[in-house]
Amino acid sequence: MTILYFIIAIGVLILVHELGHFIVARRNGIRVEKFSIGFGPAILKFKRGETEYKIAPIPIGGYVKMTGEDPDDAGGATDERSFMNKTIWQRVKVTAAGPLTNLVFALVFMPVVFLIGRMEPAFLSQPPVVMGVKANSPAELAGIKNGDEVKTVNGKGVSTWDDLQKDIIISAGQEITLGFSRDGKDISATMKVETMPEIKAGFVGIEPGFFLGNEANIDQVMANGPSAKAGLKKGDKVVAVNGNPVDGWIEMTELIHSSGEKPLKFTVAREGKVLDFDIVPEFNKDANKWVVGIVKSLRSTDMPMVKRQYGLIEAVKHGTEECVKLTGLTFEVLKRLFTGQLSYKSLGGPIQIAQASAAAAKYGLPEFIYFLAFLSIQLGILNLMPIPVLDGGHILFCGIEAVTGRKIPNKVRAIAQYVGLALLLTLFMVITVNDIDSVWGIKSMISKISSLVSF
């Protein structure tokens, strides 16, 4: 089912994107020769009018082939319906239509999420009043106490836990300053955000997810980690460690860290049975602590949830506000990536997108639509980046042509596009390898492949 949800999610977004190019190209009198969803040989194709429509088996992209779009297309030079013979403004409109349609898609469908109603942790919409501080966390070391109400992050106002957590999550490894009120006084504290390696997100130790829904239920077992090797599974509930009853997830993780490299006996409940497993923790450099490779979901089933549902006008308002927030978050992540403040390892590729789409679908239609809208915003923004091969690169070429009054030579354009393609393919490969390592573990994959080819 994971693959199916991935194909649906990517297919919808590609269709939306390419329809934008297609419709605006037709409206500007440009001949569209092919409209393809996916790459590779056609699984299904038909021709209507002058355009061939097809569905191909590789669902990671698509394209609209216009006459004269390729500078080396000799026939396009004399065809009045050729892309290259249209005005600069017409070419910019056609090129920008794809990513802009993705942004419009998000603006249209995000309100639908709030119209249907979306389940989310109840605390997200509440003021960020500290309900607990994790031992030895950045927040505790900085002097944060129960009852403090966070007002600002690096000088920027926050009014809900949702606002605060989004800023903390993307600040892994960086210093942030929290402004908060305590007994009527305004105080500030600076701390370095730690990394939660299991979900590649930042935390400071005051997040309600540490204290609400604190049952020691395992929602994910990290590939090639100590727990996976020992035999723990998703859905297990840890009831004791070394014979001592476990009161909650936080107490368990602190016990693991304090034990260092000493072997631990985990007692878990699984399908009505009680099982014991011997596990040796390993040290995680990113988190600077001892771990066993198990994860508790931020949306665990034992966490109080609330349904956010509104009438039409309010749904449009909240949907638009959410799109604005997510757009700002996307730009902030890009800025931190390009300035080296955020590691490429925090990015997710096709495998993690597939997992995220399946997880979103599991929570229902509203969550899946929300995921699609957020992914559509990211797709739209990324495609507008001024990198050759991307839509933003073509717009950049048009801008240079408008300023200089001359078209960029075909040879220069071709070299730029090859460089852009090489960069994108390299990034894609790096992210995909990172995906495989996160989901299955590189060492585990290599050993499995080796066992298949060994005699």
Residue 122 pLDDT exceeds 90 = no
Active site residues: 18
The average pLDDT across 229-245 equals: 92
Find the Cα–Cα–Cα–Cα dihedral 27, 28, 31, 36, rounded to 10°.
-60
User: What burial class does residue 212 get, using C-beta atoms within 10 Å of its C-beta: 0-12 exposed, 13-18 middle, 19+ buried?
Assistant: middle
248/50: higher pLDDT: 50
Residue 131 pLDDT exceeds 50 = yes
The per-residue pLDDT for 152 is 95
Among 19-33, 208-222, 368-382, the range scoring the smallest mean pLDDT is: 208-222
| pLDDT over 90 percentage in the chain | 44
Q: pLDDT by residue (tens digit) across 335-378?
A: 877 877 766 666 665 556 666 676 667 778 888 999 999 999 99
Among 9-23, 67-81, 214-228, the range scoring the smallest mean pLDDT is: 67-81
| Cα–Cα distance, 178 to 149 (Å, whole number) | 10
pLDDT band at 111 (very low <50, low <70, confident <90, very high): very high
173/377: higher pLDDT: 377
The average pLDDT across 164-184 equals: 90
Q: pLDDT by residue (tens digit) across 393-411?
A: 999 999 999 999 888 887 8
CB atoms under 10 Å from CB of 324, counted, come to 13
The per-residue pLDDT for 264 is 94
Residue 198 pLDDT exceeds 60 = no
| Cα–Cα distance, 101 to 391 (Å, whole number) | 13
The average pLDDT across 50-69 equals: 87
pLDDT band at 448 (very low <50, low <70, confident <90, very high): very low
Residue 380 pLDDT exceeds 90 = yes
The per-residue pLDDT for 224 is 83
pLDDT band at 446 (very low <50, low <70, confident <90, very high): very low
The per-residue pLDDT for 354 is 63
Averaged pLDDT of the chain: 84
380/251: higher pLDDT: 380
Q: Which domains does the chain have, with CATH numbers?
A: 2-28+86-117+368-449 (no CATH), 121-212 (2.30.42.10), 214-283 (2.30.42.10)
Residue 195 pLDDT exceeds 60 = yes
The average pLDDT across 377-383 equals: 92
358/114: higher pLDDT: 114
pTM, to two decimals: 0.73
Highest mean pLDDT among 69-73, 89-93, 134-138, 306-310: 89-93
The average pLDDT across 17-46 equals: 92
| pLDDT over 70 percentage in the chain | 85
Residue 286 pLDDT exceeds 90 = no
Residue 437 pLDDT exceeds 70 = no
Pairing mode of beta strands 149-153, 175-182: antiparallel
